[in-house]
Amino acid sequence: MSSHGSYYLPDPSPYPVITSAGLFSLALGFVLWINEVALGSWLMLLGAAIIIVMMFRWFGTVVSESEAGTYDKQVDFSFRWSMAWFIFSEIMFFGAFFGALFYIRMFAVPWLGDTELLWPGFEADWPTAGPEGPIALQPHEVPGPGQFTPMAAWGIPALNTLILLSSGVTITFAHWGLLKDNRGQLITFQFLTIVLGILFLVLQVEEYVHAYTELDLTLKAGVYGATFFMLTGFHGLHVTMGTIMLIVILVRCMKGHFTPQRHFGFEAVAWYWHFVDVVWLLLFVFVYWFL
C-alpha cells in the first residue's frame, strides 16, 4: 500500500488477473460440458475453486484495509460511484430482458398473427411458443406430446414472492438496527434475510424441476420458454450473488465491523437486495401474473 497526497493507490495486485483466469476456466468448462467433453466439468470445478479462493483473498484484503482506516473520503466517494455504475449496468441488463419480453408480447407475436399468408391459423395469444413451437395449454392442464403448460402465478411463484418480500422487510429491520446501534437486531434480521434468500432459491429449483418434468416447460418451449427461463434464471443468479454478499456482511457484522455513521458496505448490499426484490415483483406481475 502507498499513498500519494490524498489519493489512495493500492499496491499492484494479482487478484484481478487470477480471477479473470478463474472466470475463463469456468466459462470454457461450461461450453465444453454442454458439448459433452469430459474435461468440461473439471475445468468448471477448477474455475469455481479459483473464484471462491480469490473472493476470500480479495474481500479479506479490502475489509482489512477498510478496518485499518486506510480509506479516506476520496476512496469512499469512488466506492459510491462504482456502486452507481454497477447499479446502472444491472438496470440495463434487466431492462434488455424485460424489453425483449414486452417487444415480443406487444409487437412480434401480434405481427405473426396478423397475416394469414405466412402462418395460416396461428393465433397470436400469449403465452405462445410461436407458430412452429409446442402448443401452450391453460395453467394446471396436463401437457401431451407437442404441448406445454405455462407456469401458473398461484403456487410456488406466489409463495416465493411472499418469501422475497419478507426478506425485504427483514433487511429493513437489520438496517434500522445498524443505524440505532442495536447489534442484536442487526445480526438477527440479517441472518433471517439470508435464510429467506436460500429458501427462495430452493423453491426456485423446485419450480424448475416441476416445469421440466411435469409441464414440458423447457428452454425449448419457444419464445415463452426462452423469455421465462432467461428472466427468472438470471434473477435467480442475482439472488444467489445477493445471498453471498449478505453472508459476507453478516460475518462482518458479527466481527463488530460497521458503525451507525460508517457502513457503506452494508448500505450497498442492502440496496442491491431491495433491487433484486423489486425485479422479482416485476417478474411476478409481468411474467407470472399477466402471463
Partner 1 sequence: MAMKAIVIAMLIGIFVSLASAAVYLFRERGDSAKMAKALTYRVGLSVGLFLLLMAGFYFGIISPSGI
Tell whether omega for the bond before 127 is within 30 degrees of 0, i.e. cis. yes
Q: Name residue, grid cell 449478505.
A: 246
Q: How many CB atoms lie within 10 A of CB 255?
A: 10
Cell of 69: 482506516
- Tell me: does residue 161 bind partner 1 (CB under 8 A): yes
Measured from the CB atom, is 249 or 268 closer to partner 1?
Answer: 268
Measured from the CB atom, is 85 or 117 closer to partner 1?
Answer: 85
- Tell me: does residue 168 bind partner 1 (CB under 8 A): yes
Chosen residue from 32, 48, 55, 169 binding partner 1 by CB under 8 A: 169
How far is residue 182's CA from residue 180's CA, in Å, rounded to a whole number? 5
Chosen residue from 142, 176, 181, 241 binding partner 1 by CB under 8 A: 176
- Tell me: does residue 165 bind partner 1 (CB under 8 A): yes
Measured from the CB atom, is 16 or 110 closer to partner 1?
Answer: 110
Measured from the CB atom, is 48 or 291 closer to partner 1?
Answer: 291
Helix, strand, or coil (residue 131): coil
Chosen residue from 154, 206, 251, 255 binding partner 1 by CB under 8 A: 154
DSSP 133: S
Q: 232 with 280: CB under 8 angstroms?
A: no
Minimum distance from residue 76 beta carbon to partner 1 (Å): 8
Measured from the CB atom, is 50 or 268 closer to partner 1?
Answer: 268
Minimum distance from residue 138 beta carbon to partner 1 (Å): 9
E strands present in 26-173: 135-136, 147-148
Measured from the CB atom, is 244 or 291 closer to partner 1?
Answer: 291
Measured from the CB atom, is 146 or 260 closer to partner 1?
Answer: 260
- Tell me: does residue 290 bind partner 1 (CB under 8 A): yes
DSSP 126: S
Helix, strand, or coil (residue 253): helix
Of 58-117, which residues contact partner 1 (CB under 8 A)?
73, 76-77, 80-81, 83-84, 87
Q: 65 with 1: CB under 8 angstroms?
A: yes
234: exposed, middle or buried (C-beta count within 10 Å: 0-12, 13-18, 19+)?
A: middle
- Tell me: does residue 159 bind partner 1 (CB under 8 A): no
210: exposed, middle or buried (C-beta count within 10 Å: 0-12, 13-18, 19+)?
A: middle
Q: How many CB atoms lie within 10 A of CB 25?
A: 20
Measured from the CB atom, is 2 or 259 closer to partner 1?
Answer: 259
Q: Name residue, grid cell 405455462.
A: 150
Segment interacting with partner 1, rule: CB under 8 A, options 16-24, 37-45, 107-115, 270-278: 270-278
Give me the residues that bind partner 1 (CB under 8 A), please: 73, 76-77, 80-81, 83-84, 87, 139, 152-154, 158, 161-162, 165, 168-169, 172, 175-176, 179, 260-261, 263-264, 267-268, 270-271, 274-275, 277-278, 281-282, 285, 288-291
